[in-house]
Chains A and B, each alone.
Chain A
Amino acid sequence: MNDNIWILMSADAIAIATTLILAGLGALFTERAGVLNLGIEGILLASAVSSFLAADASGSIWLGLVFGALIGAILASVHAVLSVVFRANQIVAGLALVIFGTGLANFLGKPAEGKTINTVIEPLSFGSLSDIPVIGPIVFGQDIITYSAILLAIVSSRYLFSTRPGLELRATGDDPATVDAQGLSVARIRIRYTMFGGALVGLGGAWLMLAQSAGWHQAATTNGLGWIALALVVFAGWRPMRIIFGAVLFGFTLQLPFTLQAEQITFIPSAFLEMLPYLATLIALIALSRPGSRNLLGAPRSLGSPFVRDER
């Protein structure tokens, strides 16, 4: 058995986990504010292709990343306005965003199909540290966005649980009436965090495009990562630190089929391996649910329901 492939796989799994961490944190902030945005998959796709176009046109990969985050925030603002201001059904609004985002991505991506980008996000250099066997490529072979994503998860955890705005955010998701009574605007907080969440998802999509795929292939880029990110938030019990853990775990299951294929381990049909991440997510989701366990898990209590002061 070739050890190298397994090390590479671990490095790749962590790399894929980057998108999941960013998208998962985006969904987490949104849901902590009490807004359910199912449109993550659509935002990922649309921001991926727009970041590609921006990077292609400007020649700057960083501009691409910023642009991806911006598109993410704009699309999320549509969801925020619909669900917070217009009090629309958040589930249907999210799905509409998936359909719209997919169409938008394919429309914009049409001229870019088959194109590749010259510059890539280089892994950070840690000198000789990266040459340490096994640990080197896994721990010290990632790029700056991956490290930032992990750092962001840690900072988010502090922000959420040990700061005043974090408390307000959690309260908005759990008990908006109290937040309202404190003289804070529930609507403003919800819109703000939905857009911030969208920007994080957009950054994840942009990174997936610019660091992971060489070029834009119609709709194949995200392959359901957005949905996995949503399940990841449930899996993580709406806690940022656990997002890191879950994301790496899912990163591994996503990467496993390629590795096994490379190792020519073929007694497991490849179709089954393809199913593995989705199957694992499904099983985790079922295993985590018990009757009436929603609050036990830590789901924001007013998740998905609009706040209406006069109907309280």
Chain B
Amino acid sequence: MMHIPFRVVFEQRGETPRRLSLIVPLVSVLAALFFGALFLLATGYSVFDTYTNMFKGGFASFNGITDTLALSTVLICTGVSAAFAFQMNLYNIGGEGQLYLGLIGGAWAGIALGDHLPSLIMVPILLICGALAGAAWIFVPALVRSRLGTSEIVSTLLLTYIGASLIKHVIYTPGSFFRNPNTSFPQGRRVADSASLDSFGSSRLYPTFFVAVVVAGALYWVVKRTEFGYRINVISDSPRAAHYAGINSRRTTMMVMSISGALSGLAGAMLIVGPYGKIEPSIITLGYGYAGIVVAALARNNLAVIIISGILFSGLRVGGNNLQVTTDTPIHIGVMLQGAILLFALGGEAFRRYHIHIVRTQTQPNIKMSA
């Protein structure tokens, strides 16, 4: 058997040094970018062009910044959706599907109510309907998770595929309520004018951005300061302690998962009142719900930090999409980098939690003869 002359020792840290909490994520991002650069070199694309164009497209221009904030609106919602459940070890990874239902819920209200109410009432109604639809979509997974212990990971994910079929169904079926009746080409029917918001100036940024930030902040407060938040913390730290403390973990599971579903639904409804104004079937290829998981993981499920990680992440994505116009590098490098950043961040997490050092081991170990 091969003998390795050293051993890696993981020593649990009593307390994480503050500087590491900042350095580790930063180094993770840099490491992922470095890895991306090597990959681009190996596949024969220009590293410099790719990265400068991504940066310009995502952060360093008026359109870049506003597009980044616009996209972050959705990603903050799906990120908070993921993190809110993840912090209680409930892995709702079907935010994508709940977002689809949010599209349907929002569009339904926007079409069914017609142009009678002022925007100030209409827009919140759409957002609430979207959130309710998202919560409805997670109802079965939440119920069987809390009653039978069925893995919510697989069930929420399977429902995403079912949701995607549902979106296609409501748009491609002739005579569907959600389909534009005036065109033969399958298209979503527009919601009432009063249900559509205007973007700021010439940008594509909508006021829903502030709703997303406020929602993230409010839930941060709920988790840190309220009794409900306290219950979540106790259950995630020690289910047994929660049980003896008389906390109803079933009900809390239902509540947390429902809120998580509602937040992804809200993200879908925001797409309706904001940029799209109708159900656009191509939304199901964009993966905003999945991206929320990455945003949440990068922020280590801290609901306030998600605002920052959401914006950074959108920048990466907007910059990646910009490549389509400016270079011949496939835009999918953006998605790849997202995955790579998360993988490096997970690896880096170990350096935060453990003091890792390498110990030399001799081939002939000196056996210490102590008492």
Query: Does B297 belong to the interface (CB within 8 Å)?
Result: yes
Whether A87 pairs with B350 at a CB distance below 8 angstroms is yes
CB-CB under 8 A from B169, the residues of chain A are: 269, 271-272
Q: How far is the CA of A87 from the CA of B350 in the complex (A)?
A: 7
Binding-face segment, B19-27, B117-125, B148-156 = B148-156
Q: How far is the CA of A69 from the CA of B294 in the complex (A)?
A: 27
| Candidates A107, A279, A289; contact of B336 at CB < 8 Å | A107
Q: How far is the CA of A97 from the CA of B165 in the complex (A)?
A: 25
Question: Considering only CB atoms and an 8 Å cut-off, how many residues of chain A contact the other chain?
Answer: 52
Whether A91 pairs with B91 at a CB distance below 8 angstroms is yes
Q: How far is the CA of A40 from the CA of B225 in the complex (A)?
A: 39
Q: How far is the CA of A82 from the CA of B339 in the complex (A)?
A: 13
Query: Known contacts A82-B343, A103-B334, A275-B165; is A38 also within 8 Å of B148 by CB?
Result: no
| Candidates A38, A85, A271, A293; contact of B165 at CB < 8 Å | A271
Which of chain A's residues 63-97 have a Cβ closer than 8 Å to chain B? 78, 81-82, 85-89, 91-93, 95-97
Task: Using CB atoms, name the residue of chain B closest to A81.
Answer: B347
Whether B161 pairs with A278 at a CB distance below 8 angstroms is yes
Whether A285 pairs with B165 at a CB distance below 8 angstroms is no
Whether B154 pairs with A96 at a CB distance below 8 angstroms is no
| Candidates A96, A275, A286; contact of B343 at CB < 8 Å | A96
Query: Known contacts A85-B8, A88-B349, A227-B158; is A99 also within 8 Å of B335 by CB?
Result: yes
Query: Does A158 belong to the interface (CB within 8 Å)?
Result: no
Task: Using CB atoms, name the residue of chain B closest to A106.
Answer: B332
Whether A38 pairs with B153 at a CB distance below 8 angstroms is yes
Which of chain B's residues 55-96 have a Cβ closer than 8 Å to chain A? 86, 91, 93
Query: Does A291 belong to the interface (CB within 8 Å)?
Result: yes
Query: Does A28 belong to the interface (CB within 8 Å)?
Result: no
CB-CB under 8 A from A311, the residues of chain B are: 12
Q: How far is the CB of B254 from chain A (nearest CB, A)?
A: 15
Query: Does B204 belong to the interface (CB within 8 Å)?
Result: no
Query: Known contacts A89-B346, A95-B93, A100-B343; is A230 also within 8 Å of B154 by CB?
Result: yes
Whether B154 pairs with A227 at a CB distance below 8 angstroms is yes
CB-CB under 8 A from B334, the residues of chain A are: 103
Q: How far is the CB of B336 from chain A (nearest CB, A)?
A: 3
Q: How far is the CA of A103 from the CA of B342 in the complex (A)?
A: 13
Q: How far is the CA of A274 from the CA of B173 in the complex (A)?
A: 14
Q: How far is the CB of A63 from chain B (nearest CB, A)?
A: 20
| Candidates A81, A95, A274, A292; contact of B293 at CB < 8 Å | A95
Query: Known contacts A82-B347, A88-B346, A291-B148; is A103 also within 8 Å of B333 by CB?
Result: yes
Query: Does B185 belong to the interface (CB within 8 Å)?
Result: no
Query: Does A224 belong to the interface (CB within 8 Å)?
Result: yes
Q: How far is the CA of A281 from the CA of B151 in the complex (A)?
A: 12
Q: How far is the CB of A238 from chain B (nearest CB, A)?
A: 13
Query: Known contacts A271-B168, A289-B144; is A110 also within 8 Å of B332 by CB?
Result: yes
Which of chain A's residues 255-312 have a Cβ closer than 8 Å to chain B? 269, 271-272, 274-275, 278-279, 281-282, 285-286, 289-294, 308, 311
CB-CB under 8 A from A42, the residues of chain B are: 339
Query: Does B111 belong to the interface (CB within 8 Å)?
Result: no
Task: Using CB atoms, name the residue of chain B closest to A228.
Answer: B158
CB-CB under 8 A from B342, the residues of chain A are: 92, 95-96, 99-100
Whether A292 pairs with B336 at a CB distance below 8 angstroms is no
Whether B151 pairs with A234 at a CB distance below 8 angstroms is yes
Query: Does B240 belong to the interface (CB within 8 Å)?
Result: no
Q: How far is the CB of B188 from chain A (nearest CB, A)?
A: 16
Q: How far is the CB of B357 from chain A (nearest CB, A)?
A: 14
Whether B336 pairs with A86 at a CB distance below 8 angstroms is no
Contact with A along B156-188 (1 / 0, CB 8 A): 011101100110110011000000000000000
Whether A86 pairs with B149 at a CB distance below 8 angstroms is no
Contact with B along A123-154 (1 / 0, CB 8 A): 00000000000000000000000000000000
Q: How far is the CA of A104 from the CA of B330 in the complex (A)?
A: 10
Query: Does B290 belong to the interface (CB within 8 Å)?
Result: yes
Query: Does B266 belong to the interface (CB within 8 Å)?
Result: no
Whether B148 pairs with A286 at a CB distance below 8 angstroms is yes
Whether B162 pairs with A96 at a CB distance below 8 angstroms is no
Q: How far is the CB of B214 from chain A (nearest CB, A)?
A: 27
| Candidates A78, A89, A275, A290; contact of B161 at CB < 8 Å | A275
Query: Does A102 belong to the interface (CB within 8 Å)?
Result: yes
CB-CB under 8 A from A102, the residues of chain B are: 335, 339
Query: Does B228 belong to the interface (CB within 8 Å)?
Result: no
Whether B339 pairs with A100 at a CB distance below 8 angstroms is yes
Query: Does A101 belong to the interface (CB within 8 Å)?
Result: yes
Query: Does A22 belong to the interface (CB within 8 Å)?
Result: no
Q: How far is the CA of A82 from the CA of B341 in the complex (A)?
A: 13
| Candidates A81, A88, A99; contact of B339 at CB < 8 Å | A99
Which of the listed residues A82, A91, A92, A269 has the most CB atoms from chain B within 10 Å of its own CB? A92
Query: Does A231 belong to the interface (CB within 8 Å)?
Result: yes
Q: How far is the CB of A9 from chain B (nearest CB, A)?
A: 20
CB-CB under 8 A from B354, the residues of chain A are: 87
CB-CB under 8 A from B213, the residues of chain A are: none
Residue numbers of A with Cβ under 8 A of B are 38, 42, 78, 81-82, 85-89, 91-93, 95-104, 106-108, 110, 219, 224, 227, 230-231, 234, 269, 271-272, 274-275, 278-279, 281-282, 285-286, 289-294, 308, 311
Nearest 3 A/B pairs, CB to CB: A100-B339, A103-B336, A103-B335
Sample (5) of A-B pairs whose CB atoms are under 8 Å apart: A103-B336, A106-B335, A107-B330, A278-B161, A286-B150
Residue numbers of B with Cβ under 8 A of A are 8, 10, 12, 43, 86, 91, 93, 140, 144, 147-151, 153-155, 157-159, 161-162, 165-166, 168-169, 172-173, 285, 290, 293-294, 297, 330, 332-340, 342-343, 346-347, 349-350, 353-354
A279-B162, A286-B148 known, 10 other contacts, Cβ within 8 Å: A82-B346, A85-B8, A89-B346, A93-B343, A96-B343, A107-B330, A269-B173, A285-B150, A285-B151, A294-B149
